[in-house]
Amino acid sequence: MRWSLLLGLALVASALLLVHTAYESRRLFTEIERARSQHRQLERDHQRLEAERRAQATHLRIERMARDRLAMRAATPALVHVVADPGPATAAGGRR
Amino acid sequence: MRRAASPARAAGAVRSVNYASSPLLAARTPPWRSRLVVALIGLGSCVLLARAAYVQLIGAEFFQAQGEKRFAHTLVLHGSRGRILDRDGQLLAISVEAPSIWAIPRDLAADRARRQQLAAALGMAPAELERRLADNPNFVWLRRQTDDATAARVRALALRGVHQTREYRRRYPEGEAAAHVVGFTDIEQRGQEGVELAFEPRLRGRDGSRDVIRDRFGRIVEDFGNQIAPVHGADVVLSIDAKVQALAFRAIRDAVAEHRAKAASAVVLDARSGEVLALANYPSFDPQRRQRLSGAQLRNRALTDTFEPGSTVKPFIAAWAIESGRATPDLVIDTGPGWMTVTGSTVRDHEPMGMLTLATAVQRSSNIAFVRLALQMPPREMWQLYRDLGFGQRPQIDFPGAVSGRLRPYRSWRPIEQATMSYGYGLSASLLQLARSYTVFVDGELLPVTLLRRAGPVAGQRVLSPATALQMRGMLELATGAQGTAPRAQTVGWSVGGKTGTALKQDGSGYASDRYRASFVGIAPVDAPRIIVAVMVDEPRAGRFFGGQVAAPVFSQIAQHTLRTLDVAPDRSFAQQIVAKDAAALPEHYR
């Protein structure tokens, strides 16, 4: 008799836990879903902005701006002093 | 019926329906009623069973589908199209989200004023909106692939019957500078031109799908059933250098304006790997605004137009004469009075040059000297040389519309034809082919060209020995010297070598008398070549038309800036200008 009472209580507790877990899982699922859609949205924004940034930073545009607005001009070798760097750091990356 | 009227019958009734053992409890009701009830219940159960069987087994699919329809949704997962990048990872093409606005005109509940608001939000004339709405009562696009601001304005109106979908459109940050290489897609993001078309299978993404259950707020509460992951298109990394491309484009654009030319093209190759660093054409177009485009703008001239290369092929004849032991750079050739006859036809030089060494013949571009050299070679040998240089063959390049040019079989050559072919008439090639053929002067090997980035140097097909190639580079440098045909090809700081070409344009079956094609193909720096630049200007009409006057300055500009961009150390001395902090800026020419 005592055993069945105990088991009954355990059953009720487990049932309540199940309800809670199901609720939690739904809630977390919604949350992850929201985070995912936010992730997608941010990714899309990122791509859009990246394209925008590149369009603003094309070589032709930069050059035009530098020339017209900042009165700059392209450097000729006559204006460049080339120095040889003997250090090992230059061996790895030549450009940019 | 009275009770216990007939014990036998009662006993029979009790036997058949034994409600209770006590006769006191014996039912007064006649047994058929209880039988009827049992039968009805039995029948009911049977009906239920049959229905259950129908629902569960026979009509299961239909009911399942109907049920799912009420809570399940299939989401389309967008598989995006791959990006196109230049060799340093700079964007040349990317897909970005662009909302599209559509309407169900039948549902559209809006009076005149509201419709005008909608038209204003969409940025179109009210009449245009009305025309679109009248098109189809069930579905019309109002504005496809527009920007977020427009979409937000339309959303703010909150009109019934007006909807938005997410679509994607291609953006081309480099615009017209790289338009011919990159190409473009149609509104459904299918490649139509250029790399977009050539690498369509690799770039294209495949949409996936996902089945979900939504609650009454439209939130996704559960996944179920199939999930097909979207396949994103792969990125394509080109060998193009956006910077070199931009400056090559600018150089030819300025040249077209300066010489009032019809068109111009430029190709820049990496001299060690055969990669195409730039491939520019002018006139060009903005790939994002493609209304009212003409064929002249769309044509990728550097790849699809062939022309007679003219004097730019002379170095090959010289190189082969050296390679085959027929000549040395110091061999003296008599060019006579500036004209000679080959089987009745006359070949002329632009001026009488008398006795020339082979080196000066290249330098001063004497036709007669090369005719004399070429006539020593059997037609087959000369044909084989041109063949080895890639003429008359479609270049192995993944690009739509690349042409093979024309090189007639040697069996049909007449002596005069062989003679004219030695100075570039009677065969045709695209500018890319011409640029590629000059790779033999780097190390004697003809390199395969590519539009995709390569890891490092590649092995080519040997045509000349490295020693001959070196001697030829020396001669090409002479041609850009003070006594050569193209002193204007020189750069400040780097040695260059190259050959001019000025060819009359073909006009039907003959040649036009006043329409030229000026070209220049060069290599730089001469001692350790890094780039090959080919320039072609079509029909310069501002007075000057020689390759040395029109194309060589373009070469100089492109080579100068490209070498600087590639961080190539200058190999020629020049006047240093870095002296004081307030040195006066030199006047420069723009545009």
* Res B538: pLDDT: 92
Cβ contact, residue pair B250, A50, below 8 Å: no
- CATH number at B173 reads 3.90.1310.10
Instruction: Please write the tens of the pLDDT for every residue from B50-93.
Output: 999 998 888 888 888 887 777 778 888 888 899 999 999 899 99
The active-site residue out of B95, B311, B422, B428 is B311
User: Which tokens belong to B374?
Assistant: 């070429």
Query: How far is B76 from B518, CA to CA, in rounded Å?
Result: 54
Least Cα distance to B264 among B281, B276, B279 occurs for B281
Pair (B106, B176) in one structural domain: yes
Q: Does A69 touch chain B (CB under 8 A)?
A: no
Under a CB-based contact definition with an 8 Å cutoff, are residues B449 and B431 in contact? no
- Tell me the C-alpha distance between B422 and B320, whole Å: 11
Using 50, 70 and 90 to split pLDDT, how confident is the model at B589? Answer: low
Which of the residue ranges A1-10, B20-29, B458-467 would you say has the lowest mean pLDDT?
B20-29
Does the predicted model carry a pTM greater than 0.90? no
Say whether residue A55 is in contact with chain B using an 8 A CB cutoff.
Answer: yes
Q: Which residue has the higher pLDDT, B240 or B581?
A: B240
Tell me which chain A residue has its CA closest to the CA of residue B565.
Answer: A95
C-beta separation of B328 from B358 below 8 A: yes
Find the mean pLDDT for residues B246-266.
93
Q: Which domain holds residue A23?
A: 11-72
Are B34 and B17 spatial neighbours (Cβ–Cβ below 8 Å)? yes
**Backbone dihedral angles phi then psi of residue B581, each to the nearest 5 degrees:** -70, -25
Do B205 and B258 lie in one domain? The reply is: no
Q: What are phi and psi of B316, to 5 degrees?
A: -70, -40
Annotate B511-533 with three-state secondary structure.
EEEEEEEEEEEEEECCCCCCEEE
pLDDT of residue B506: 79
Average pLDDT score, chain B: 86
How do residues B133-151 score in pLDDT, each as one tens digit? 888 888 888 888 888 888 8
To test the contact with chain A by mutation, choose from B77, B91, B217 the residue with the greatest count of A C-beta atoms within 10 A, namely: B91
Choose from A56, A59, A70 for mutation: most chain B CBs within 10 A. A59
Helix axes B314-323 and B466-479, enclosed angle (nearest 10): 140
In tens, the pLDDT along B311-360 reads 999 999 999 999 999 989 898 998 888 888 888 888 888 888 888 999 99
- Clarify whether B265 is annotated catalytic: no
In a domain, B145, yes or no: yes
- Name the residue type at position B60: A
Residue bearing the bigger pLDDT, B465 or B63 = B465
Q: Across the interface, do B567 and A94 touch by the CB < 8 Å criterion?
A: yes
**Residue pairs spanning A and B at CB distance below 8 A:** 90
If one counts the domains in chain A, the total is 1
Q: Based on the domain organization, do B272 and B197 belong to the same domain?
A: no
**Are residues B226 and B93 both part of a single domain?**
yes
Interface of B with A (CB under 8 A): 88, 90-91, 94-97, 171, 173-175, 177, 219-222, 242-243, 246-247, 249-250, 491-494, 560-561, 564, 566-567, 569-570, 574-578, 585, 588, 590
Distance from CA of A64 to the nearest CA of B (A): 10
Tokens for B365, please give them: 């571009």
- How far the first Cα of chain A sits from its last, in Å, is 82
Q: State mean pLDDT over B3-17.
A: 50
- Do B250 and B374 sit in the same domain of this protein? yes
pLDDT category, B577, cuts 50, 70, 90? low
Chain B residues with CB-CB distance to A81 below 8 A: 576, 578
pLDDT for B579 beyond 60: no
**Domain ranges, residue B134:** 75-237
Structural domains counted in chain B:
2
Sequence-ordered strand ranges (E) for B325-395: 332-334, 339-342, 345-348, 355-357
Q: Is residue B26 part of a domain?
A: no
Based on the fold, state whether residues B495 and B374 are members of the same structural domain. Answer: yes
Per the model's pLDDT, the better-predicted residue between B27 and B221 turns out to be B221
Same domain for B215 and B342, yes or no, is: no
Tokens 């009488």 — which residue? Answer: B352
> Per the domain annotation, does A46 fall within a domain?
yes
What residues of chain B lie within 8 A of the CB of A50, using their CB? 91, 94
Which member of A50, A78, A80 has the closest CB to residue B94? Answer: A50
CB of A77 less than 8 A from some CB of B = yes
Q: Which residues contact B211 (CB under 8 A, 6 or more apart)?
A: B72, B73, B74, B75, B223, B224, B225, B226, B227
Contact residues on chain B for A48, CB-CB shorter than 8 A: 96-97
The three-state (H, E, C) secondary structure of B102-150, written as one string = EECCCCCCCCHHHHHHHHHHHCCCHHHHHHHHCCCCCCEEEECCCCHHH
The pLDDT assigned to B2 comes to: 45
B167 and B269 together in one domain: no
Question: Are the Cβ atoms of B576 and A81 closer than 8 angstroms?
Answer: yes
Q: Does A74 touch chain B (CB under 8 A)?
A: yes
Strands B236-237 and B84-85, sheet pairing:
parallel
Facing A95 at nearest CB: one of B221, B247, B567: B567
Q: Indicate whether A94 belongs to any domain.
A: no
